[in-house]
Structure 1
Amino acid sequence: MLPITLNDHKSLLTLNNNEMPIYKDIMVPGLDVQPQYIDINRGIWVLRVIFHPGVKLPMHYHTGTVHLWTLSGKWNYVEYPDQPQTAGCYLFEPGGSIHTFNVPADNTEPTETLMLVEGANVNFEQNGEYHSILDANSITLLIEQYIQENGLEPAGYIKPSMPDYAMNIKG
C-alpha cells in the first residue's frame, strides 16, 4: 500500500535557469539575481547570484546558516584574503558569521554563485554603523519592486504559500 499524503504532487517543482530572467544590478551595481526559492515564513532564500568584477558588499552578520556554492569565477571575504573561493568550492557558514564579500576587480569573468540562506544578513557601514537588513521578506519586496519599475513579468521562482487555518470538519 502506498503512503497517503495531503499534497497531491502532479508535477515536479523545478526551474530551468536558462529560461528564467536574471534581474541585473538589482541590489547594487554589478550584482545580478535569479531567485530560485524564497520562503518568507521560514526565512529561507535560495538565489543564483552573479557578481561582476569589483563588487564589494557591506560587512554583514548572519543570523542563520549559509550554504554557498561557487560555480564560476573567484571571490573572497576581506577578512580571509588567503582563502579565495573559486569554481567548484562549497562554503558553509554557521550562524553568527561576520564578514565582507569581495569580488576582485581584476577577475576576468563574472563570479556565479548559488546560495541557500537561513535567516537574515544584518549589514553594516565600514565604520560599524547599522546599514540595513536583508532577509527573505526584503528580497521578495526588492524583486517585486524591480519587476514593477522595469515593466517585467512576475518572477517565476518557488514560493511556498502563506500559512492558513485548518478547516474544522465535524462528522
Structure 2
Amino acid sequence: MGFDIRMSGGPELYRASNKLKQLGNTGLGREMNRGFERAVQPLGPAIQAEVPKAMPSGYAPVLSRSLQFRLSRRTRRQSTELRYKVYGDGQKERRDVPALNKGNLRHPVYGKRRKAWVSQKVRPGFIDEPMKRLVPNVKREMTLVLKNVSDQLKG
C-alpha cells in the first residue's frame, strides 16, 4: 500500500505535450520529464529526514531504508496529473505508509512466538509536514519547467 500525492495541471500541459508529440522526437518531452523529476527530487530526502522524528527509535532506520518514491504522469484532455507515490517494502508485504502517516504503527509483539500484533500511536504527518513545506517550491519549479518548454516550442 502506498501513499499518493497528486498535483494537477490544466489544459496547458495537455496542449504542450500534444505539441511535443506533433513535433516528433526533439528531446523536449524528455527535458520536461527530467525537469519534473528534478522538481520533486527534494521531497524524498525531506520525508526520510522526518522519519526519525515520528517513529520509534528501533523502527525509524528500518522504515527509512525501505521507503521508495516514484513519479508518474497521466495526461488527459482537460487535465494532467502528476502522482508522487511513497511506499515501503517490508520483508513479506508492503508497509502501510498511509496508516503510519496518520499516526498508527502496527507491529508484532517482541518476543512472542504467536502472531500477536498491537497498534502503537506515533506522531502523525511524517509525509504531510514535508509536503506542506516543499510543495509550493515544487509547483514553482514545475511551472518554470513548463514555461521553459513552451518558450522553446514557440521559438
TM-score, L = length of structure 1: 0.27
Which of the pair has more CA radius of gyration? 2
Higher percent of residues as helix: 2
